[in-house]
Structure formats: structure tokens, C-alpha cells
Amino acid sequence: MESIKENLYFFIPMMEGIANQFGENCEVVLHDHSQGLESSIIAIINGHVTGRKVGDPSSNLGLEVLRGTDVNGDRHNYFTQTREGKTLRSTSIYIRDNQKQVIGALCINLDISDILQAEKTLNKMAGRPETTPARQEEVNEVFVKDVNELLDYLIAECMSLINVAVINMTRQDKLNAIKFFDDKGVFLIKKSGEKICEFLNISKYTLYAYLGEIRGENPVIDE
């Protein structure tokens, strides 16, 4: 397969079948990464589950797969939560071309919040102790309507991990921050460099030099 759009005749009926099988709480999303990560969603059914629509961006997991940080790619039956507190049971399948390069993704997000609440109510009625359902994997996936929301989320995550105010960051702290952003695939997003430079209070030259140093492409420099 070389193009997602040329195969919509295959994907759309599959998406409709999945959505109809599981009902209105099942969101099915098709990403085409040739459209750019900023607007990769080209088809979506039951978008009310995550509040997204056609033209919205990839999630943070998609960035990591394209960057090569997540080498396994596909994820099945993992759990995540939306910002509104919905619990989702999800599967993400990455679509590859004939050269095995990722060109898109088919994602299923089933809102099981009502099921979990019903289980809790039934346990109370039966006089059983509340139990936490067994989960195969819990993943921190962020669903956004605008790519800037995703950048803001990753900047906040970086700040939490480094735990140093930008004004007090050492050169090594800034290198660590840039490595974090690089591993997360941030620089695959158009114009993300400008936002990272503004955040870290560095020039574009310094950003690219630090990136080269991290990737082993440039000699070490001082800002």
C-alpha cells in the first residue's frame, strides 16, 4: 500500500463496521500522515468520544511512532483517559507502505466509562467490595483538536520531569529538555522549533546545534 486516500474504499467500510458493532460510544479514526501531523485525521466516526473531527492532529503516540522512539508501533487493548475523565479502551494499528514506513493509522477508542460505573453500582447492590478492573496496559495518550494543545501538554510534561524553572536551567538541563522533545517526536511538527526556542529562551542556531549534539551529528558547542 502506498497511499491511504487511494484505499478509502477499503478503510471506510471497515470503520463503519467496527463503529456499528460497538455502538455510538466507539470512536474509529483514520490518520493519513502524508497530510502532515498537524491535520492527519481524514475520517472519523463518533468523534464525540474524544471531541475530534476531520483535520485534527495526531496524538502524542503517533508522534513517537513516526519519530522511531516507539519501535513496536501497534498497541492493542490499552487504557487511557480523556481530559474530561472518560475511560477509553483503545487499539492503535499503524499502516505501512511497501517499504514498511508508517503512512497512517487506524485507531479505535471505546468509551467504557458507563460500563465501569455500572459495574461499581452492581457491586454495591450485591454487597461486594469494589474492585479495580484488571488492565493489560495503561497509556498516557492525549487527544487534541489543535497541535498547539499537544505542544503545550508536552512542554508541561517536560517541565514536570526536569523540575527546574527555565530561568534556572543549566546547559545540561536544556539538552535534557531537547532530548525529551526529540524522543517525543515534537520536531516532526511544523514550526515547533519556534515554540521550543521561545520556551527554553534559546536561539534557533542553539536549538539545531543542541539537536545535532544529542543525535551525534555535531560537535559540542556552548551557547
Place 37 in a pLDDT band, splitting at 50, 70 and 90: confident
Identify the pLDDT of residue 218. 60
Judge whether residue 71 has pLDDT over 70.
no
Determine the Cα–Cα distance for residues 121 and 109; give it in Å rounded to an integer.
24
Q: How many CA atoms lie within 13 A of 171 on its CB side?
A: 10
Which of 77-81, 106-110, 135-139 holds the top average pLDDT?
106-110
Q: Indicate if the pLDDT at residue 3 is higher than 80.
A: yes
- Please give the C-alpha separations between residue 110 and each of 19, 43, 75, 95, 113, in angstroms, as whole numbers: 9, 17, 14, 20, 9
Q: How far is CA 12 from CA 35, 36, 97, 164, in A?
A: 18, 20, 18, 47
- Say what the pLDDT of residue 137 is: 62
Residue 135 pLDDT > 80: no
> Average pLDDT in the 116-133 region?
71
Grid cell for residue 12: 471506510
* Fold of the domain spanning 7-126: Beta-Lactamase (3.30.450)
For residue 138, what is the DSSP state?
A: B
Domain coordinates in residue numbering, the chain: 7-126, 147-215
CA nearest neighbour of 61 among 2, 14, 109:
109
The pLDDT value recorded for residue 65 is 84
What pLDDT score does 201 carry?
Answer: 94
Q: What is the pLDDT confidence band of residue 14, given thresholds at 50, 70 and 90?
A: very high
pLDDT at 207: 95
Q: What is the percent of the chain with per-residue pLDDT over 70, rounded to a whole number? A: 89
Residue 136 has a pLDDT of 57
